[in-house]
Amino acid sequence: MEEDQESLKYLFQQEFSKMVAVISGLYGLQHIEIAEDIVSETFLQAAETWGIKGLPANPTAWLYVVAKQKTLYYFRRNKILKNKVLPELTPKSEDSEEIEEPNFSEENIKDNQLRMLFAICNPAIVSEAQIGLALRILCGFGIDEIADAFLTNKETVNKRLFRAKEKLRAEKIKMELPPEGEISERLDNVLHIIYLLFTEGYYSKTQDSILRKDLCLEALRLGVMLSEYEKTDLPKTNALLALMCFHASRFHARQTEENSMILYEEQDEGLWDTDLIRQGVYFLDRSAKGKELSSYHLEARIAYWHCRKEDSPEKWADILDLYNRLLLVNYSPSVALNRLFALYKAKGKEAALLEAEELRLENNHFYYLLLGELYKDLDEAKARANLEIAYSLAKTQTERQGIQEKLFLLNPNGKKNRK
């Protein structure tokens, strides 16, 4: 029984988004909520039927058949209502239109998911709502899971999704690929949403490690989907894929079984996923074929270096140069902070401290965490003071626990406590 429930949960995440995309693509985004209801009812029927009869031989095919039946029933009944009960509201041109049935072929699913991706990532919808829609419509996440990802409640998520869907209707956004001349520009927004989705998983504040991994894998899946379509298989697409592969390769090495974060220098290289690193190198090579140099290219190259444990001056000099260029392309406090660490590794603590004191990221606990590291072995009192500020600013218990361990390792002599 438990195995059947797990199978159904897995199928929901895999197939929900596909079926919603196909139904919405066929009947229009104005019916997206109806598509969601139909698919949800299909899974409800599956839970009831399979609970009695057990899993069918081909669960996916069973779901497609039932979803197709429910879709045709809804739209045919709706047409009858318009034509016979409310004929004055129905344009005559619609009277003779046949209700087309959904096509759940693999090729049609991919086509509709790609078009749905561009529709959801329309600039008319605010970024946060785009991520929510992507998680729900393209990744099949439940409302509870989305609420966990954003550290918010179901009511907030439902309101956010409702407003986003209203925007889709109000702006009359269609499920279609942009004209060829606009694809590259529109792709920027799509890639940005995938990047934010991956970042939410990789740097997530939730302690649900399974959810964090799923967010990253879904972002990777969407990126691969773009790379499989010729017009969106551009260098910047491959650069983002390379970046995500490199980061995801170190996913299991970044935290302990208790969910405490493990710093890069303390990670077990044996836990890195070498297949993902090779895949990242493949995408990085493909990203070098164009003339455009995006922030994803620079970040991917930095991430590549972090998949090589060597601690050579050449490595950190190159990373520092990449961060210098990245700040010019896409400045952010986090990039400036990461550059400081590279500066420390390339030119020493004193050089990094000179610039760190000028940066003054006063509400960023990572900033004070870095200052604590830089002052360690130089000024124990300042190291402790900065770590205490970092502790007070940390947002999760896991982060506070890691900082507490660093404080514990400090003593009045500035040496590690070896007990």
Q: Can you give the pLDDT at residue 83?
A: 60
Q: Can you give the pLDDT at residue 93?
A: 42
Q: Can you give the pLDDT at residue 91?
A: 46
Q: Can you give the pLDDT at residue 182?
A: 87
Average pLDDT over the chain, rounded to whole? 86
Listed in sequence order, the DSSP H helices in 81-182 are 106-120, 127-133, 143-149, 154-170
**Cβ-based burial of 1 (10 A; exposed 0-12, middle 13-18, buried ≥19):** exposed
DSSP lists the bridge partners of residue 261 as 255
For 417, the token pair is: 């406590």
416 or 125: which leads in pLDDT: 125
Are the C-beta atoms of 323 and 303 separated by less than 8 Å? Answer: no
Q: Can you give the pLDDT at residue 419?
A: 36
3-class SS at 223?
Answer: helix
pLDDT at 316 over 70: yes
Q: Can you give the pLDDT at residue 95?
A: 47
pLDDT at 238 over 90: yes
Are the C-beta atoms of 234 and 294 separated by less than 8 Å? Answer: no
pLDDT at 386 over 90: yes
Are the C-beta atoms of 5 and 56 separated by less than 8 Å? Answer: no
Q: Can you give the pLDDT at residue 418?
A: 37
pLDDT at 414 over 50: no
Give CA–CA dist 37/39, Å, rounded. 5
Are the C-beta atoms of 341 and 367 separated by less than 8 Å? Answer: no
Give CA–CA dist 136/114, Å, rounded. 15
- Domain layout of the chain by residue ranges: 1-104
Give CA–CA dist 72/64, Å, rounded. 12
Are the C-beta atoms of 253 and 247 separated by less than 8 Å? Answer: no
pLDDT in tens, 214-236: 888 989 999 999 999 999 999 99
Entry pTM: 0.83
* Average pLDDT of the residues in 143-168: 86
Distant-in-sequence contacts of 274-282, Cβ < 8 A, 24+ apart: 274/249, 276/245, 276/246, 276/248, 276/249, 277/245, 277/246, 277/249, 277/307, 279/245, 280/241, 280/242, 280/243, 280/244, 280/245, 280/246, 280/249, 280/304, 280/307, 281/242, 282/242
**Cβ-based burial of 282 (10 A; exposed 0-12, middle 13-18, buried ≥19):** middle
322 or 413: which leads in pLDDT: 322
pLDDT band at 299 (very low <50, low <70, confident <90, very high): very high
Q: Can you give the pLDDT at residue 102?
A: 93
* Average pLDDT of the residues in 307-327: 92
pLDDT at 80 over 90: no
70 or 143: which leads in pLDDT: 70
State the Rg of the chain over Cα.
25
Task: State how far Cα 13 lies from the chain centre.
Answer: 15
pLDDT at 411 over 70: no
* Cβ within 8 Å of residue 6, ≥6 positions away: none
Percent of the chain with pLDDT over 70: 89
Q: Pick from 348, 396, 387: which is nearest to 368 by CA?
A: 387
Give CA–CA dist 29/116, Å, rounded. 9
Are the C-beta atoms of 271 and 252 separated by less than 8 Å? Answer: yes
Give CA–CA dist 243/42, Å, rounded. 37
Give CA–CA dist 264/283, Å, rounded. 23
